[in-house]
Structure 1
Amino acid sequence: MKYVILIHSNPQPWGHPTGDFVAEQRDLPAETREQLNADFESVLEEMSARGELIGGEALADPASARLFRWHDGERLATDGPYAEGKEHLAGFFLIDVESPERAEEITRNFGAPGETIELRPAMWPGGDAD
Structure 2
Amino acid sequence: MKYVIMIHSNPQPWGHPTPEYLPDYQDMPREQRDRLYSEFEEMLGELRDSGELLTGEALGAPESSRLYRWDDGKPLVTDGPYSEAKEHLAGFFLIDVDSQARAEEITSRFAGPGETVELRPAMWPGGDD
Work out whether the TM-score is over 0.5: yes
Q: Which letter maps to 1:51?
A: G
**Counterparts of 1:78 and 1:46, CA distance in 2:** 40
TM superposition outliers: structure 1 runs of 4+ over 2 Å? none
Shift of 1:32: 1.7
**Counterparts of 1:29 and 1:111, CA distance in 2:** 19
**Counterparts of 2:63 and 2:115, CA distance in 1:** 19
Shift of 1:111: 3.2
In the other structure, the counterpart of 1:56 is 56
Q: TM-score, normalised by structure 1?
A: 0.95
Q: Which runs of 5+ in 2 are unaligned?
A: none
Q: Which letter maps to 2:53?
A: L
Q: TM-score, normalised by structure 2?
A: 0.96
Shift of 1:30: 1.6
Aligned length: 129
Q: Which runs of 5+ in 1 are unaligned?
A: none
Sequence identity, in percent?
64
In the other structure, the counterpart of 1:29 is 29
Which 10-residue stretch deviates more, 33-42 or 56-65? 33-42
Deviation digits for residues 58-108 of structure 1, max 9, x if unmatched? 000000000000111111111001111100000000000111111111111
**Counterparts of 1:70 and 1:55, CA distance in 2:** 30
Q: Which letter maps to 1:5?
A: I
- Is the Cα–Cα contact under 8 Å of residues 39 and 109 in structure 1 kept in the other structure? no
In the other structure, the counterpart of 1:129 is 128
In angstroms, what is the RMSD of aligned CA positions? Answer: 0.9
